[in-house]
Amino acid sequence: MSEPDIVTTLDADACWQLLHDHELGRLAFHLAGEVHITPINYAVDGRTLLFRTAEGNKLLGVVMHSDVAFEIDGMDDTEAWSVVLRGRARLLEGDEEHRAERVPLRPWTSTAKYNVVEIAPTEVTGRRFGLHKPWEHIQQ
């Protein structure tokens, strides 16, 4: 694999397609002067992300500090990829929270999650990496 093939920058459409095709990622948010990261299931709604959450640290964090980051990634035998979204989170209220009913967004656990949060991106970036993994080709 030549050097230019090792890392490829994904355009916005490719990033959104990957976001649309998956439903589990990691949310980074601020709370009490610290950065927290937690897995969430999500759905794409237009060019925003929606997720449900119960009362707790995640909801408190995004209400107090709307600046968040979100990441998904994946890999197979030949390549890996990553999409990072930076943006602003806000709790949807009233008629807006019904947007979650139009997308495939359902809690994965039995915990009641009545709060719907939108992440509106300010930046979406992605990269695809060719994997070499020379240790897998060593004869034993």
pLDDT digits (tens, 9 = 90+) for 25-58: 999 999 999 999 999 999 999 999 999 999 999 9
Query: Could you tell me if residue 70 is inside a domain?
Result: yes
Backbone dihedral angles phi then psi of residue 51, each to the nearest 5 degrees: -145, 155
pLDDT digits (tens, 9 = 90+) for 75-107: 988 889 999 999 999 999 988 877 877 887 877
In angstroms, rounded to a whole number, what is the distance separating the alpha carbons of residues 130 and 135?
Answer: 15
Contact call for residues 40 and 72 (beta carbons, < 8 A):
no
Query: Could you tell me if residue 22 is inside a domain?
Result: yes
Task: Tell me how many domains the chain contains.
Answer: 1
Domain that holds residue 64: 3-132
Q: Can you give the pTM of this predicted structure?
A: 0.86
Backbone Cα Rg of the chain? 17
Q: What is the CATH number of the domain that holds 67?
A: 2.30.110.10
